[in-house]
Amino acid sequence: MSRLKVLFHVNENPRWPRVIVNVQNFIKDVGQGQADIEIVANGAAVTAYGSGPEEDLHREMQELAALGVVFAACRNALNMHSLAEKSLPAYVRVVPAGITEIAKKQSQGYAYIKP
């Protein structure tokens, strides 16, 4: 089977833990480095990238980023929630519009999953 490519879409903050567990289990199942994985956050979900009490979540994100998982943030959503791009963790990639990113990735063969 060809290499799996998967995009996870998260637009609500309470869904983040579920997204993280889904990605962790997915990597455990297919093996490290065996799939292309990207998480696109838009809407209120981008606020989880900001500094705050979510230390456990940030640690888990960082561990996944170190395994090659791409974390993207929608610039429109960052602006709406007054989050400065320079305040984000280094592994977060800002995209002009989350929807465009999601559409492009699917056109490139990524599966879409909304946990």
The answer to whether 102 contacts a second copy (rule: CB under 8 A) is: yes
The answer to whether 100 contacts a second copy (rule: CB under 8 A) is: yes
Rg (CA), the chain: 13
Give dist(CA 111, CA 9) in Å, integer: 11
Per rule CB under 8 A, count of chain residues that contact a second copy: 36
The answer to whether 107 contacts a second copy (rule: CB under 8 A) is: yes
Angle between helices 55-66 and 16-30 (to 10 degrees): 30
| Residue 107 burial by Cβ neighbours in a 10 Å radius (0-12, 13-18, 19+) | exposed
The minimum distance between CB 92 and a second copy, in angstroms, equals 19
Positions touching a second copy (CB under 8 A) are 1-2, 4-6, 9, 11, 18, 22-23, 25-26, 28-30, 35, 42-43, 74, 76, 96-100, 102-104, 106-107, 109, 111-115
